[in-house]
Amino acid sequence: MEALTAHLSQLGHGLVTTVELTVVTTVGAMLLGIVVATLRIAPVPLLRAIGTAYVEVFQNLPLLALLVLFVFALPTIGITFPLFTSAAIVIAVYEGAYLAEAIRAGINTVGVGQAEAARAIGLTFGQSLRHVILPQGLRAVIQPIGNICIALLMNTSLAAAVGVVELTQAANNVNLVEAQPIAVFTGAGLAYMLLALIIGQVTGLLERRLAIVR
């Protein structure tokens, strides 16, 4: 316990970075997920193919490999970003593929009659999606989206591999000084568990308030 209390500032900074990385990547992944889910159900075959390719590529590549490639390969061709920004971009792009499939599943729960009714009153595909289908589809998959956000939180720990000093890297740095891995990493694990419980509680609350009873 002394190893934790003696380095609370260091661990707290890592925890804040983890929370910031989780929030930024969740917002980015949600926006990407909505765009890709829209492509997946678009009436144009080329757009559907682009959406499918995005999902297939990023669901079949390891996140760690993408992080290493982005951080260490792009600078060789003159493209550089701060480490935090690099990690946020890669994690958002990666998790966007999973969120897109969850959102598409929600869209598929919306009755065909809803889309037909929207077209009957003169709405375009985009207007139908924005005003009728997407709001209902998102409300149908709040809990699955929450589960993906929890997985995203855990995946932020991989940012340590490319030098981002988030909670896992901060715990590792403390352990290198104190040599008490059980206490240090148990504390870090409990912090991750607390954050996951908060996400679960928030999404559970949103689901109870916004879920559509069919």
DSSP string, 65-123: HHHHHHHHHGGGGT----HHHHHHHHHHHHHHHHHHHHHHHHHHTS-HHHHHHHHHTT-
Whether 1 shows a pLDDT value over 80: the answer reads no
Model-level pTM? 0.90
Identity at 129, one-letter amino acid code: L
Q: Is 184 exposed, middle or buried (0-12, 13-18, 19+ CB in 10 A)?
A: buried
Q: Are 54 and 99 in contact (CB under 8 A)?
A: no
Q: How confident is the model at residue 95 (pLDDT cuts 50, 70, 90)?
A: very high
Closest CA to 37 of 137, 143, 169: 137
- Mean pLDDT, to the nearest integer, of 21-38? 96
Write the CA distances from 84 to 6, 22, 41, integer angstroms.
Answer: 26, 11, 33
Domain boundaries, the chain: 1-210
String of b and e for 63-83 (b: at least 16 CB within 10 Å)?
A: beebbeebbeeeeeeeeeeee
Distance CA 184, CA 53 (A): 41
CATH architecture assignment, domain 1-210 = Orthogonal Bundle (1.10)
pLDDT at 2 over 80: no
pLDDT classification of 214: cutoffs 50, 70, 90: low
Helix, strand counts (H, E) of the chain: 11, 0
CA distance 62 to 52: 18
**Rounded CA separation 131/57 (Å):** 30
Question: At 125, is the secondary structure helix, strand, or coil?
Answer: helix
- Which has more confidence, 74 or 101? 101
CA atoms within 13 A on the CB side of 54: 26
Q: What are the tens digits of pLDDT across the range 139-177?
A: 889 999 999 999 999 999 999 999 899 999 999 999 999
- The mean pLDDT of the chain is 91
CA angle 198, 93, 168 (to 5 degrees): 50
pLDDT at 213 over 70: no
pLDDT at 110 > cutoff 70: yes
**Interior/surface letters 118-157, b for 16+ CB within 10 angstroms, e for the rest:** beeeebebeebbeebbbebbbbbbbebbbbbbbebbebbb
Residue-wise pLDDT for 177-193, tens only, equals 988 899 999 999 999 99
